[in-house]
Structure 1
Amino acid sequence: MPEVNKVVSVPARAGEKTPLQMLARLKGRDGGIFLPEYAFDAGERLSSDFVRAQMQPRVTSALQPRLESRGRGTRADDHGLSDSALDARRRVTRALSAVGPELADVLLDFVCFEKGLEQLERERQWPVRSAKLMVRTALLALARHYAPPPSRPSTRHWGAEGYRPDIAAMFAED
């Protein structure tokens, strides 16, 4: 995925910017963009799936009893969800397992729960300005999950073109 030095157009959500949108506006040391557009798009896709999956923790109390009548083999949090929400949960789970456990919690906190860089550094006791690099690494790994690089054609044999002798030349008369 080639890195293109162009400004990322970021849509605003209800007047406030998410930490991902603010990170997308940062410049690198060379003056180019810090976060490639495909990494930003991967973060937006994860955030959209997270919202669609209804995985945000509840702030209010539920008025239904905890042990409601449900069929065997169904989880309590899957009961009553639409098929699109269940599919979105599967996509979020696959994406987070693809980036690995070391980066999955960083993605959840930054992209899904919208914690800022400073808050990540404080909570994890990281050095100052290190969360920016960890989030960038996690977003690049996530982008690789969503759009894997094309595989190279495998080598069929060890020889280069023309390595076999020309048999016709052996039988030619001088």
Structure 2
Amino acid sequence: MPAIEQLDDAVLSRLAASREADGPAFLAPHHVAAANRLAKLVERSRLGPRITMSYDATRIGRNGGNGVGETSDSAADARQRLNRIAAALPADCWGVVFDVCGLGKGLQLIETERRWPRRSAKLVLRIGLEQLAGVLGLSAGAEGPEVVRQTGWLEERLPLIAEQEH
């Protein structure tokens, strides 16, 4: 099972661990991998909230714009990829997945903010991670052709040392 790379993310680590020694976990390994990819993408896009105040004049943004001109190419590319992913997922699923994986919110806080019943965000998160894994091309099992014939670019192996004629 892929490790959860965000050490402070108690929600995903709790849901990815099985309650019983031999029982299945609530989140499958491909769900965890999809969550990790989304977390890295959000981090690269620089959409996460800042924890501390920066008094740097270049970061304050006195020009009144949305900051797109100042973002790096990789951050802009990450934001475009996030937009494509958000368009491919159902709105409620995207909101919960982004809140948990991107912003680090807890499930109880999400349920309170949206006035959902208890434990409903957990199910929506799993459905959203399944959809996200499908968008990212991840699945529960490895898939591929049944038989793959191995071929090389040479019909036969050439000798390492050429024989010299006497």
Do the structures match in fold with TM over 0.5? yes
Contact 1:19/1:111 (8 A) holds in 2: no
Tell me, in whole angstroms, the C-alpha distance in 1 between the residues paired with 2:116 and 2:66: 36
Q: Calculate percent identity across the aligned residue pairs.
A: 32
CA deviation after TM superposition for structure 1 residue 12, in Å: 5.3
Contact 1:106/1:135 (8 A) holds in 2: yes
CA deviation after TM superposition for structure 1 residue 53, in Å: 0.5
1:11–1:37 CA distance, 2 compared to 1 (3 A): closer
Tell me, in whole angstroms, the C-alpha distance in 1 between the residues paired with 2:25 and 2:87: 28
Contact 1:109/1:115 (8 A) holds in 2: yes
1:56–1:38 CA distance, 2 compared to 1 (3 A): same
> Deviations for 1:31-81, whole angstroms, at most 9, x for unmatched residues?
212111111111110110000110113452665464539xxxxx6321222
Tell me, in whole angstroms, the C-alpha distance in 2 between the residues paired with 1:22 and 1:127: 20
Runs of 4+ more than 3 Å apart: 11-14, 61-67
> Residue 41 of structure 1: SS of its match in structure 2?
helix
CA deviation after TM superposition for structure 1 residue 123, in Å: 1.8
In the alignment, which of 11, 34, 43 is matched to residue 42 of structure 1? 34
Tell me, in whole angstroms, the C-alpha distance in 1 between the residues paired with 2:49 and 2:104: 13
1:82–1:117 CA distance, 2 compared to 1 (3 A): same
> Residue 114 of structure 1: SS of its match in structure 2?
coil
CA deviation after TM superposition for structure 1 residue 106, in Å: 1.0
RMSD, aligned α-carbons: 2.8
> Deviations for 1:129-159, whole angstroms, at most 9, x for unmatched residues?
2221110001001001111789xxxxxxxxx
In the alignment, which of 107, 114, 121 is matched to residue 124 of structure 1? 114
1:17–1:67 CA distance, 2 compared to 1 (3 A): closer
Tell me, in whole angstroms, the C-alpha distance in 1 between the residues paired with 2:54 and 2:28: 40
1:12–1:42 CA distance, 2 compared to 1 (3 A): closer
Give the match for residue 141 of structure 1: 131
**TM-score, structure 1 normalization:** 0.66
Higher radius of gyration, 1 or 2: 1
1:142–1:132 CA distance, 2 compared to 1 (3 A): same
1:1-174 matches, within 5 Å, as: 8-11=1-4, 13=6, 16-27=8-19, 31-59=23-51, 60=53, 64=57, 66-68=61-63, 76-147=66-137
For structure 2, which runs of at least 5 residues remain unmatched after alignment? 144-166
